[in-house]
Amino acid sequence: MSQTSLTPTATQAPNLALLFLQRVEASAEREAFRYPENGQWTSVTWKQAAERVEALAAGLLALGVAPEDRIGIASTTRLEWILADLAILCAGAATTTVYPSTNADDTAYILADSESRIVFAEDDKQLAKLTERRGDLPNVAKVVMFDGAGDGDWVITLDDLAALGAKHLAEHPSSVRTTAEEITADRLATLIYTSGTTGKPKGVRLRHEAWVYTGTAINDMNLLGEDDLQLLWLPLAHAFGKVLISTQLACGFASAIDSRVDKIVENTGVVKPTFMGAAPRIFEKAYARVVTTQQNQGGIKALVFNTAFAVGRKVAARRRNHRSIPLFLQLPHRLFDRLVFAKVRAVFGGRIRFFISGSAPLNRDIAEWFDAAGLLILEGYGLTESAGAGFINRPDNYKLGTVGLPFEGTDVRISKAGEVQFRSKCVMAGYHHLEKATAEALSDDGWLATGDQGSIDDDGFLKITGRIKELFKLSNGKYVAPPAVEAKFATLCPYASQFMVFGEGKNFAVALVALDADAIGGWAKDRGLGDASYAELTKSSDAHEMVEEHVKKLNASLNRWETIKKWALLDHELSIERGELTPSLKVKRGVVAEQNKETLDGFYS
């Protein structure tokens, strides 16, 4: 694998705009991006991307954009999102990210609170939200459409903006380069609003320094190089997605971009990436899909599959512990690699060097399953407040069940209360318009209070054990950590999409269960329930018996006080539209509890 050809000064770029321009100079004719178009993948070089970015940035300057002005992007992950973001940065402004699934009220709140002056909107659906709440957006002077027509006034197209830029460049040819060179490291680059699981979202102010630091820190680890190819589907409104772009600028690899979650597996088989970032839920679904397929086949195929993974786990464990592989394991492992593991790897294109997991804890058992198949998942850790970064496992130095080692230059400590705290260049400047919240999260000397409970082992690896606020105490004084219990159930039951544990102040723990619509389909068909609707399945005795069987297995692995005494099946999967999930697919426990208050109260009556 070749490493990035950045010149020495590129690693010292004070801002993301210059990091991008330096990457263009170093890799002008190399592929930068790839996107689906008319059933094919179209490639874009760094030089071609830069030409479009410069025109758009100049267009923003022509519209009077000033340093640190906020400009919103409300769109799914696509090439235009990245080009718009780079244009905003090159114009000296700052990007306000908005999830495309955000409702009109919250979209208006984010754009108003950030005082965004211009908004890039993906399509008519996003425009409708802005039009509906235009009275609440006095600062928004222009809306720029990725798809759709302008109105000759408030709304213009991306091409209209580029045309404005071309005219501006004809009169001021060096304006974009000059603007980029004037951006200091401490200037605002991005305003990302937190998911809002416990209230109104808070705007996290991230400086250019934060993104440049994360990108160059990963580049210095030699994790990735110009010959790598990323499949990028993660929401760019999320810090995890955004940090992968700053990493791309520093390392020079190409990104194949497609936001469609239902196309992830298909896309990996087509574009054959060497790495991909994903949230744990993606790995859980892939695991469930493969396992349930084999279980449904039954017979000799299921036996071979199960035996293969039993052997694969033993071999992988010995490799992780740097122990030799005895001949009695080597021989069957070679056979199973051809019969089973190679086929699993081929599903993901056959070139994966590693996956990167972030945004939520990864279940160790699932990580071990992938490792047994020769698919390494490197877990990392960061918050929106740290530009999505701070810690990561390395391919040559990793421990499953941990989030790895801190980035070079990042300090970490565990408070007396067990809270993970760290100090780094990637940490936010503060919350937008929220001085009190900033003071609570950031100490005077720069330590970020994460709200996560964790520990550091003798080798410096960080392990996250849960959110402090998610721990609850039963009436007997015992503590329960819902994420740990829920993660165990995810491994045991491939048919569940969510398993939510409750019990604060009660005498025992209970759970609400949502079935995975995709996984349960094959299971239902095998039991003659193929024509049943999702809601009907949740009421069937077969489904209840299946879940009860898995809950019993779960309870057998738990401490007595953690066991789930009662549970109920929800008649729907959790969704963003119902307010149960954040745009980044985190469960809003409070909302779920309130919506199912009668059921939860009934467990104790």
Specify if 90 maps to a domain: yes
| Torsion sign across C-alpha atoms 262, 265, 267, 270 | negative
155 and 216 belong to one structural domain: yes
Position 6 scores a pLDDT of 28
Question: Do 500 and 460 fall within a single domain?
Answer: no
Decide: helix, strand or coil at residue 156: strand
Q: Is residue 8 part of a domain?
A: no
The tokens for 164 are 């404005």
Q: Contact at 8 Å (CB) between 464 and 403?
A: yes
Please list, in sequence order, all residues whose beta carbon lies within 8 angstroms of the beta carbon of residue 310, skipping any fewer than 6 positions away.
none
- Mean pLDDT of the residues in the chain: 92
* C-alpha to C-alpha distance for 359 and 522, rounded to whole angstroms: 29
Q: Is the domain of 72 the same as that of 185?
A: yes
Domain that holds residue 476: 471-602
Which domain CATH number covers 483?
Answer: 3.30.300.30
Do residues 295 and 302 lie in contact, with contact meaning Cβ atoms separated by under 8 Å? yes
pLDDT on residue 579: 85
Domain of residue 177, CATH code:
3.40.50.12780
Of the residues 411, 440, 468, the one at which a domain ends: 468
Spatial separation of the C-alpha atoms in residues 433 and 374, rounded to whole Å:
47
For residue 12, give every residue at least 6 positions away whose Cβ sits within 8 Å of its Cβ, in sequence order, or none.
none
Cβ atoms of 356 and 380 closer than 8 Å: yes
Q: Are residues 334 and 241 in the same domain?
A: no
Mean pLDDT confidence for 25-47: 96
Give the range among 30-44, 219-233, 445-459, 531-545 with minimum mean pLDDT. Answer: 531-545
18 in a domain, yes or no? yes
Output phi, psi for 155, to 5 deg: -110, 125
Q: What pLDDT is attached to residue 164?
A: 98
What is the pLDDT, as a whole number, of residue 111?
97
Q: 47 and 105 share a domain?
A: yes
Share of the chain above pLDDT 70, in %: 97
Q: How many domains does the chain have?
A: 3
Q: At which of 226, 260, 294 does a domain end?
A: 260
463 and 519 share a domain?
Answer: no
Distance CA 230, CA 222 (A): 15
User: Does 253 share its domain with 346?
Assistant: no
Is 552 within a domain?
yes
Q: Does residue 549 form part of some domain?
A: yes
pLDDT band at 181 (very low <50, low <70, confident <90, very high): very high
Find, among 384, 310, 375, 380, the residue nearest to 343 by Cα.
375
Q: Is residue 430 part of a domain?
A: no
Sorting pLDDT into bands at 50, 70 and 90, what band is 250? very high
Q: How far is CA 513 from CA 382, 538, 600, in A?
A: 28, 10, 12
User: Can you tell me the distance from the alpha carbon of 567 to that of 411, in angstroms, rounded to the nearest whole number?
Assistant: 42
Q: Give the tens place of pLDDT for each residue, 68-105.
A: 999 999 999 999 999 999 999 999 999 999 999 888 99
Q: How far is 381 from 447, CA to CA, in rounded Å?
A: 16
Q: Do 111 and 72 belong to one domain?
A: yes
Whether residue 27 is found in the same domain as residue 106: yes
Cα–Cα distance between 271 and 349 in angstroms, integer? 7
End-to-end CA distance of the chain: 62
Residue percentage of the chain with pLDDT more than 90: 78
Residue 441 placed within a domain? no
| pLDDT tens digits, 461-507 | 999 988 888 888 898 888 888 988 998 898 899 899 999 999 999 99
pLDDT in tens, 268-283: 999 999 999 998 888 9
Which DSSP letter does residue 146 get? S
Considering the domain architecture, whether residues 176 and 242 belong to the same structural domain is answered as yes
What residues contact residue 445 under an 8 Å CB cut-off, 6+ apart? 423
Whether 248 and 356 map to the same domain: the answer is no
Structural domain contains residue 214: yes
- Tell me: pLDDT of 5 over 80: no
Query: Please, which pLDDT band fits residue 296 given cuts at 50, 70 and 90?
Result: confident
End of a domain among 411, 446, 468?
468
| Band (149; pLDDT cuts 50, 70, 90) | very high
Does residue 521 register a pLDDT over 70?
A: yes
What average pLDDT does range 147-169 have in this prediction? 96
Question: What whole-number distance in Å separates Cα of residue 504 and Cα of residue 516?
Answer: 26
Shared domain check, 593 and 486: yes
Run of H or E including 20: helix 16-27
- ∠105-108-110 over CA atoms, to 5°? 110
